[in-house]
Structure 1
Amino acid sequence: LLLKKHYLCEHILCLSFIFQYRIGQLYMISKHSHEQSDRGEGVEVVQNEPYEDPAHGQGQFTEKRVYLNSKLPSWARAVVPKIFYVTEKAWNYYPYTITGELMCCSFLPKFSIHIETKYEDNKGCNDNIFDTELKEQEREVCFIDIAYDEIPERYYKESEDLRYFKSEKTSRGILQEGWRDTQDPIMCSYKLVTVKFEVWGLQTRVEQFVHKVVRDVLLLGHRQAFAWVDEWIDMTLDDVRDYERQMHEKTNIKVVNCHEQQEHSTTNPSSLDDIEIHDKASVCVFFIDSLLHCRSSVSYLYHWFL
């Protein structure tokens, strides 16, 4: 379900497993992020600890950073901080989660993404799961089919193609066309996504582009969670939390070591105050493009969107 209000969207994904999804999701995010970290560019986990909310109860709070500096061209590296990262904070009260406070470096105008997620045991039939007050004309519905929706070619792997994949341990798959109508059990992941990019002349274009990338990441991540089921199906929640910690530690070592070295490198020759307004917009657009397309950023987006 896509809802638009300052480009507000709700995405619906139907999945073929229920209570195991939480374990599969944690495993998939940790494995993918560790695999994709390169040259110290990856997700550094700053905090990952239990958290209790008066309304939602026991949950998990995480704070993460993604580093992107080497993905910038030389002209952009001259005007942005040496240690260039984005911060994300998330509160997971499964089956309800909030991901918010995307904070860019100070040289950027306000760019934010806020995501609410709810999981229900249905086929995506709850039209007002977030109790939104948006008018009907502001609503756009987007169902995501993890088996038959088109995936960007650069991310396609035959081993993760659910039209042909069959699990050896669970016998799940092959997902045939129309599987959402016949699969039992089935659950649905609902995601309410708000994107803000406050740059005149670029706002609509960038916000729409971000939502397209959100959809692609949701599709790719949940395909992998299904295709990797034989790797995590025997895990308990404690097992996958241990695996998650191990992957975080290994990734953090690579990321932190790299940026300790960068701190001793030469200083930036200028600041964003020294360049023209249209060049600032160019930096912003390139930042968005880098964040959404570089390989290490896809790892970050897994943490952010899934």
Structure 2
Amino acid sequence: MVLNKEYRICMPLTVEEYKIGQLYMIARHSHEQSDSGEGVEVVENCACEDPEHGPGQYTEKRVHLSSRLPYWLQNLIPKLFYVTEKAWNYYPFTITEYTCSFIPKFHISIRTKYEDNNGSSENVLGVSPIELKDLAVDFIDIVYDEVNPRNYKEEEDLRYFKSVTTGRGPLVEGWRGGPQSGVLSENNSWLDPTVHPIMCSYKLVSVSFEVWGLQTRVEEFVQRCVRDVLLLGHRQAFAWVDEWIAMDLSAVRAYEADMIGKTNEKVAQGKAKGTPENADGKAAQHKEAEGRPEAELTLDHTGDEVGVGAAILSAGDSEETAAITSPSTPRNKSWFSWS
């Protein structure tokens, strides 16, 4: 069994603008969310090819996050483990898959399509009619949905943020329009979007954890974590718009390459320490976590993407034929399965 959800996240940007913004956001967010020894480590970044979507970029990352898990889950796994993220970017379509170094039956897959609308398109990711009947659609509001208090920053609060460069913002309630906005006009019809441009990230998230007794709890927990990260990542992408809006692809590639190097160094330094001092620190975190509600313990280190995916550092620069191809189309078992 696979737990599927579709998330729709609107932003006051165009799809073409977000091509730059999401690369900037991923690189910066990954660095900010990485601690010494825990965070995002990029292990491969190269060109790839897909018969349907054409040339793209493949990225493989290791997300080190063992101490970030809820306490009840830490008891079941080794102290040190990592999640592998494999992403294929054929913008405006991307595929991202997650597997765990310790739990082979744990899979997360995310298929994303970006469109210039307010989330009004139906089934843009081609879900089968049978799966579509049970598919829950969740509209994420980057302005008014509550972000985890740990991640709240006043300068990133889009109720008050106004972009100096673009003049966009602040975003008022009902800014997305449509039934998902929850705001009606005087004649009880749904309002149109109040901001232009507007785009939507459509994300089909599939979670599978085939372990008896834990499957439902873990799959629901992971979906909550994914939602938290999607909210934060898209929120930050617009809050940082003045820093990336003037970049072209070569500029954001250079920024990304610099941040990847810094993030890998940051993670490697902590891994090299590997001392009892670190273990004591984790033990202290475990003790503190015992009294904390599960909802506060989210997988924020998966925030380097969870849905947006790969970097485009060298797209078009490689003279060699891409040897890496994206996953095949959905299969009966689960479309992202490696078996």
Give the TM-score band, short-chain normalised: 0.7 to 0.9
**For residues 49-104 of structure 1, what are the alpha-carbon distances to aligned partners after superposition, in whole Å with 9 as ceiling and x for unaligned?**
2222222112111000122355589999999657522211100000000001x221
Asked whether the 8 Å contact 1:217–1:305 carries over to 2, the reply is no
Asked whether the 8 Å contact 2:233–2:303 carries over to 1, the reply is no
For these two proteins, the number of residue pairs brought into alignment is 275
Counterpart residue type for residue 49 of structure 2: E
Asked whether the 8 Å contact 1:61–1:91 carries over to 2, the reply is yes
Which structure has more helix as a fraction of its residues? 1
Matches within 5 A, 1:76-115: 83-100=80-97, 102-106=98-102, 108=103, 110-115=105-110
Residue 305 (structure 1) aligned to one of 282, 304, 307: 307
Consecutive unaligned residues in structure 1, runs of 5 or more: 266-285
Residues 69 and 144 from structure 1, CA distance in 2 versus in 1: closer, same or farther, beyond 3 angstroms? closer
**For residues 27-57 of structure 1, what are the alpha-carbon distances to aligned partners after superposition, in whole Å with 9 as ceiling and x for unaligned?**
1111121122222211110011222222211
- TM-score scaled to structure 2, two decimals? 0.74
Counterpart residue type for residue 245 of structure 1: A
**For residues 200-256 of structure 1, what are the alpha-carbon distances to aligned partners after superposition, in whole Å with 9 as ceiling and x for unaligned?**
222112211211221111111111111111111111111111111100001111222
User: Alignment RMSD, CA only?
Assistant: 2.8
| Further displaced range: 39-48 or 75-84 | 75-84
Q: Determine the structure 2 residue equivalent to 1:66.
A: 63
Asked whether the 8 Å contact 1:83–1:259 carries over to 2, the reply is no
Residue 185 (structure 1) aligned to one of 197, 201, 210: 197
Counterpart residue type for residue 305 of structure 2: H
Q: Determine the structure 2 residue equivalent to 1:15.
A: 11
- TM-score scaled to structure 1, two decimals? 0.81
For residues 74 and 94 of structure 2, the distance between their equivalents in structure 1, rounded to whole angstroms, comes to 35
Asked whether the 8 Å contact 1:13–1:146 carries over to 2, the reply is yes
Identity of aligned residues (%): 57
Q: Determine the structure 1 residue equivalent to 2:246.
A: 234
How far is 1:305 from its partner? 3.0
Q: Determine the structure 2 residue equivalent to 1:141.
A: 137
Q: Determine the structure 2 residue equivalent to 1:171.
A: 167
For residues 25 and 139 of structure 2, the distance between their equivalents in structure 1, rounded to whole angstroms, comes to 21
Residue 40 (structure 2) aligned to one of 35, 40, 43: 43
Asked whether the 8 Å contact 1:49–1:62 carries over to 2, the reply is yes
Counterpart residue type for residue 15 of structure 1: M
